[in-house]
Structure 1
């Protein structure tokens, strides 16, 4: 019997219990899934970083901690976590992110906000450019960034991607390092942020990098709130350097009611809805990793502690 402990907020148990049990059965795993195993008996922990479980010292038998979130920045620095840590790469979450990013990219590309708000009775047809005439840059070429970039390229957009390490993706102009970042930003009429939150990416978009964008660029951030220097973005919006920003993630969530983003006419706020882990598909990812762990096979989506993701 494989002992699996579920360590997340109580409402998540109600969402995940049945899908996890179904996934374990589908993968032929004999699992005792509980909220309250004795720590020394636990083989795997299904985990969310906002769980009450923050000290892993007693989990001496645990073979892996399987994160329910794509982001792991809230747990990688925990010195008691010595077990292998796997982040969530959920096909349902990825599809949700692709749909959200594609929708807002097309919204900006076709200037849909203008036509929705253009109710003055003036007939002024302006034909939007084709996707092949629009430059889109995606910062971050992990699972989510690659999926979004390739989808946008399939629609005809000129897509440039930037990552901290060199990548090769068919149909995407891939850049890396500091010089590559400047080049990626310099052509970005629509900029999409899908980088992890690490010390190297905090405030990556600041006054200097915002000035590298073409005047009137639009920004879409479904990645991480700390990627953007908020004051610098507000200044760039006020000067017209940035035409508009759609923000789904923030340094403090929920976004405080008195935050300037709420009232700013050039900002669209969405409440961290770009991508959500789907219980059915995520449960199968968890089950597959437990199957691998029991079979002695490499775990999927293992976190690089030094890189932070």
Structure 2
């Protein structure tokens, strides 16, 4: 059987070259979406074309998050995403920011320009309590890195089921209690109806001068609730890589807020070489009639 693959990505040419080199049996690229039974796509780029994919059977997302696709009621296809490659990148981002902040590296950079020698006291990460929202592959990798620094780590998930390497895992119903003892909070959650504004003025009011990271999806965080939590000193500083609307508007208050660090959704980018490796493995499963890996549950959103 000949499988026709439609590409829709900002890295279209790179994906086309990599797939050509992969020489996958029975696979040909097509520029006509209406005849494609397979799609490899960046969800935000492809979302408005989904309803025209009449022959679509399987869509391989180049991202972990597929909320742009799941917003469409079309459900007559199998959706897989990218997993297992973003955890290390997310950990680099979180701990790069965390260590720079807790070790006052920006202050020392300023001191250097002034030729000023003025040590600043700091607290080690060892013994700190990190609460991670989301216990999937990304959250688990961040937790594993935290353990290397001697932190205790609590995971928060819908089920609350225990999983390695977390010291403990609680359900969403115990979120407030978990946040009350957190030194560092990291949200790796996807955007679903259940996670929207999970971090809000009420839940954040239980924090005590915590550091907050959002590297999952923007809608998980209620933006006005964060501003309120910072004003009340529940949140000491927020490191935000994802936002409800991207790119962030020029007049958005986050840009100039001294207690918020903004980055342009770069904590973990999709690397085409890695995505094609995952697609190749899944495609070979596909043509051999084996179950696909990394299937997205369209009901739960992940």
> Is this a same-fold pair by TM over 0.5?
yes
Determine if contact 1:97/1:144 at 8 Å carries over to the other structure: yes
Could you say which residue in structure 2 is the equivalent of 1:15? 14
User: 1:213 Cα deviation (Å)?
Assistant: 1.0
Change (3 A) 1:21 1:172: same
| In 2: Cα distance, 1:210 partner to 1:37 partner | 45
Could you say which residue in structure 2 is the equivalent of 1:5? 5
Q: Is 1:58 paired with 2:54?
A: yes
User: 1:245 Cα deviation (Å)?
Assistant: 0.7
3-state DSSP class of the match of 2:132?
strand
- 284, 296, 299: which one pairs with 2:289? 296
Could you say which residue in structure 1 is the equivalent of 2:256? 263
- Where in structure 2 are the equivalents of 1:93-242 lying within 5 Å? 93-117=86-110, 121=116, 123-126=118-121, 128-214=122-208, 216-242=209-235
Determine if contact 2:7/2:29 at 8 Å carries over to the other structure: no
User: 1:38 Cα deviation (Å)?
Assistant: 4.8
Determine if contact 1:90/1:285 at 8 Å carries over to the other structure: no
- 71, 76, 86: which one pairs with 1:82? 76
User: 1:117 Cα deviation (Å)?
Assistant: 4.5
Determine if contact 2:158/2:171 at 8 Å carries over to the other structure: yes
What does the per-residue CA deviation read over 1:236-264, in whole Å, with 9 as the maximum and x for residues that have no partner?
22232211111111111110010000011
- TM-score of the two chains, using structure 2 as the length reference: 0.90
3-state DSSP class of the match of 2:301?
coil
Structure 2: state its 5+ residue gaps: none
User: 1:195 Cα deviation (Å)?
Assistant: 0.5
User: 1:37 Cα deviation (Å)?
Assistant: 5.8
What does the per-residue CA deviation read over 1:112-163, in whole Å, with 9 as the maximum and x for residues that have no partner?
344444567473442x333322111111111211111112212222111111
The structure, 1 or 2, with the larger RCO (C-alpha pairs under 8 Å, 6+ apart) is: 1
- TM-score of the two chains, using structure 1 as the length reference: 0.88
